[in-house]
Structure 1
Amino acid sequence: MNIKRHASVLSLIAAGALALTACGSDSNTPSGSNNSAAPAPTNTAKAECGGKKDLVAEGSSAQKGAIEAFTAAYIKECAGQQLAYTPSGSGAGVKQFNAGIVDIGGSDSALNKDKGEVEQAATRCKGNPAWNLPLVFGPVGIAYKVDGVKDLVLTPEVTAKIFNGGIAKWNDPAIAAVNKGATLPDKAITVIYRGDESGTTDNFQKYLKASAKDAWGKDAGKKFNGGVGQGAQGSAGVADAINAGDGTVGYIEWSYIQDKKLSAAKIDSGAGAVELGAEGAATAIKSAKIKGEGNDLVLDLDALYASKNPGAYPLVLATYEIVCSKGYDADTAKAVKAFLTVAATSGQSALADAGYVPLPNEFQEKLLTAIKAIS
């Protein structure tokens, strides 16, 4: 992938808030989420309906709720058309897209050049580059269940040591030091991580690598590299495993935390503790930049993850729709463009009720430009 830095995506702040609906086999629309500060974008574009009747997509479980909202809008606007989405995880989504099994891949991480994903995608797209188009943004929480502990603060360094086994008890002095006055039990910490390949895992480990520095000491990637804990399948499995135990902790999308009524730690990156939520994520996203070239809208989140800005909640991910810039047959290209056009326009109006935040106008323009260029 050619990398070129562009302007800071300050326009994302116009969204006012960010939220992701986590996914599994059940409906996970969070109750009580407040997205009223983020109205749907006002730009419109007419979808040219037609082409392949039944599109197939697979990947990120974090965007399942958004894809359901987009599909409902697509069916309404393009009668007779359909899209089937399998929330199998980002790793599976990339593999299925690159193998030519699905028309659209969903991933919480952009295609990885070092792992051959960019080259494989170009081969699948008949010698043309694939584009990463982010349609969903949102924070990831550090969820926990510890009897008697309802208000927990973690620093990046303490979080890293919990997830690599350097801290093994809840009453460890390092945790106590950032939770002065709290009663912490002499109880073993049980780390719950995504056992499948996951973009959420990749983003979480990138966050630890950027923010905790030497305290993490592990690589990023879609597989969990912490070396401790118990794996669970998908976001639903992580949520259930945390909820079923005592002394458990794991990383999971915000809406799963809301849906399962889990406790989430505040993050103190050096400028005070910030709770998981829309306002803190919106503040953090100021540091995000687009590094992809042209219509490949890959975000550089490293500066965001390392942010020490007051009020910023830095553990944020973006979910990409991976598509061929060229190389589809004519019917598939027409349907993919129609679906993505609806998703970026009329489909946005349903996202607030589904626990997401609609795109800001400025970023919507970039997406519509890229979608129009697909052929």
Structure 2
Amino acid sequence: MKKENAYMRRVVKLTSALAAVALLVGGLTPAASANTEIKGAGASFAKGFMDECISQYNATRPAITVGQYGSVGSGSGRSQLLAGTTAFAMSDGYWSGTQVNRANDFIFIPFAGAPLTIPFNVPGVRNLNLTAKNITDIFSGKVTKWNDKSIRQNNRNAKLPDSSIVVVYRSDSSGTTQAFTQYLSQHASDWKEVGVFNTAFQPAGSIGAPQNQGVMTAVRNTQNAIGYVDYADASTGGMPMAKVQNGVGQFIAPTLQATNLFLAAQPLPGSKGYVTPRYKVSKIKGAYQLGVYTYYIMPKRPARGVIEFAEYVLRTCGPTRAAAVKYNALSGKMQTYALGQIAKATRP
């Protein structure tokens, strides 16, 4: 009987010990057991901003790290998020095609702004003024020569050559293209908003290149070329950028200050979280009228760290670091709106 009682006491002790270990292991949070890494991918337009904020975030929040940003283009970024291979995405355009069917499972959040620039490579020409009609005609192939009368009339001091214009466009699924074609479609009825520069919008002799960095490289390496590129890449690309005529008739160079004048006058997004800028009807003195927002997309029930990173960017990294890497930080009502969008998510 004594042996049996001793045996039972040993069994109880062993069972209690195993239960304690199970509770200890089961109670560990990911932060306590190991660093958590979240990954995101998407818009190449946002690459410079995301690289900077990820670096800053990882330096100050070592328990939750963000992996290297995948600059794959807005369309691919949205697809990866839908497939569950990333925790968040960046996009300059809204859901397209069948992706719209999943829109209610995610939250669109304005994250930063920036000028969408038009770099060009015309030998001997460093200053170029373009109207909205010039831009739509060039990118549709209606105007094919640099010395076309419609271009010369606003560039009387420029020695524009009798050379064919080479349009460089995004060959991948691109939010930058979505934003650019929004601008074009608001100024010309024969344009449609598309995610890809398809065959209807490829002038003869044009060149397709992936991502903003690819377009900038193609413009730099091709004489008489013109393209559309984010401000960060254009600023380091070594090519001049066109001045774009705004709603009050001024030709304005792309700068953060001039772009902020335009973006600050745009309406807040609606329930979708996405706003289409009023490119044609805005009349703002001194504004660069080709400003673009880039967006952070996360599930309504995101992984741990996704909300914290977004809040850090909007509250800290954007206000302190955006301008240094050629982006406009959100402020005022737009920043408040973006933080409100984050609050809709369920914290894990």
**TM-score range, shorter-chain basis?**
0.7 to 0.9
- What is the Cα deviation at residue 163 of structure 1? 0.5
Whole-Å separation in 1 of the counterparts to 2:284 and 2:325:
29
- What is the Cα deviation at residue 370 of structure 1? 2.5
CA contact under 8 A between 2:168 and 2:215: conserved in structure 1? yes
Write the letter of the residue equivalent to 1:244.
Answer: N
CA contact under 8 A between 1:145 and 1:246: conserved in structure 2? yes
Whole-Å separation in 1 of the counterparts to 2:341 and 2:147:
51
Whole-Å separation in 1 of the counterparts to 2:324 and 2:259:
19
Q: In the TM superposition, what are the counterparts of 1:339-358 in structure 2 within 5 Å?
A: 339-348=309-318, 349-358=320-329
Structure 1 partner of 2:213:
236
1:120 aligns with 2:102: yes
Structure 2, unaligned runs of 5 or more? 1-29
Structure 2 partner of 1:221:
194
- Structure 1 segments (4+ residues) deviating >3 Å: 49-52
Whole-Å separation in 2 of the counterparts to 1:74 and 1:256:
22
Superimposed CA distance per residue, residues 218-274 of structure 1 (whole angstroms, 9 cap, x where no aligned partner): 211220142221101111111111111210100111122210121111112451211
Write the letter of the residue equivalent to 1:258.
Answer: S
CA contact under 8 A between 1:73 and 1:342: conserved in structure 2? no
1:274 aligns with 2:252: yes
Structure 2 partner of 1:360:
331
Whole-Å separation in 1 of the counterparts to 2:109 and 2:83:
19
CA contact under 8 A between 2:90 and 2:294: conserved in structure 1? yes
Of Structure 1 and Structure 2, the greater helix share is in 2
CA contact under 8 A between 1:290 and 1:300: conserved in structure 2? no
- What is the Cα deviation at residue 308 of structure 1? 3.8
Whole-Å separation in 2 of the counterparts to 1:304 and 1:219:
15
1:106 aligns with 2:90: yes
Three-state SS of the structure 1 residue aligned to 2:117 is strand
Q: Does the C-alpha gap of structure 1 residues 344 and 50 become closer, same or farther in structure 2, counting only changes over 3 Å?
A: farther
Three-state SS of the structure 2 residue aligned to 1:95 is helix
Q: Does the C-alpha gap of structure 1 residues 280 and 347 become closer, same or farther in structure 2, counting only changes over 3 Å?
A: closer
Structure 1 partner of 2:139:
163
Identity between Structure 1 and Structure 2 (%): 26
Superimposed CA distance per residue, residues 284-337 of structure 1 (whole angstroms, 9 cap, x where no aligned partner): 2244112322xx432231x234424332211111110111123x4xxx1x3111
CA contact under 8 A between 2:130 and 2:245: conserved in structure 1? yes
Q: Does the C-alpha gap of structure 1 residues 189 and 95 become closer, same or farther in structure 2, counting only changes over 3 Å?
A: same
1:310 to 282, 285, 306: 285
Structure 2 partner of 1:145:
121
- Tell which has more relative contact order, 1 or 2 (C-alpha 8 A, sep 6+): 1
Structure 2 partner of 1:321:
296
| TM-score, normalisation: structure 2 | 0.83
Write the letter of the residue equivalent to 1:219.
Answer: K
Structure 1 partner of 2:241:
264
Three-state SS of the structure 1 residue aligned to 2:244 is strand
Structure 1 partner of 2:178:
202
Larger Rg: 2
Whole-Å separation in 2 of the counterparts to 1:283 and 1:366:
18
- What is the Cα deviation at residue 131 of structure 1? 1.1
Whole-Å separation in 2 of the counterparts to 1:280 and 1:55:
35
Three-state SS of the structure 2 residue aligned to 1:263 is coil
Structure 1 partner of 2:305:
335
CA contact under 8 A between 2:129 and 2:245: conserved in structure 1? yes
Structure 1, unaligned runs of 5 or more? 1-48, 123-128
Q: Does the C-alpha gap of structure 1 residues 219 and 372 become closer, same or farther in structure 2, counting only changes over 3 Å?
A: same
- CA RMSD after TM alignment: 2.1
Write the letter of the residue equivalent to 1:118.
Answer: V
Whole-Å separation in 1 of the counterparts to 2:99 and 2:31:
30
CA contact under 8 A between 1:287 and 1:304: conserved in structure 2? no
Whole-Å separation in 2 of the counterparts to 1:220 and 1:80:
42
Whole-Å separation in 1 of the counterparts to 2:263 and 2:188:
20
CA contact under 8 A between 1:118 and 1:130: conserved in structure 2? no
CA contact under 8 A between 1:274 and 1:312: conserved in structure 2? yes
Whole-Å separation in 1 of the counterparts to 2:176 and 2:308:
28
CA contact under 8 A between 2:44 and 2:72: conserved in structure 1? yes
Write the letter of the residue equivalent to 1:221.
Answer: V
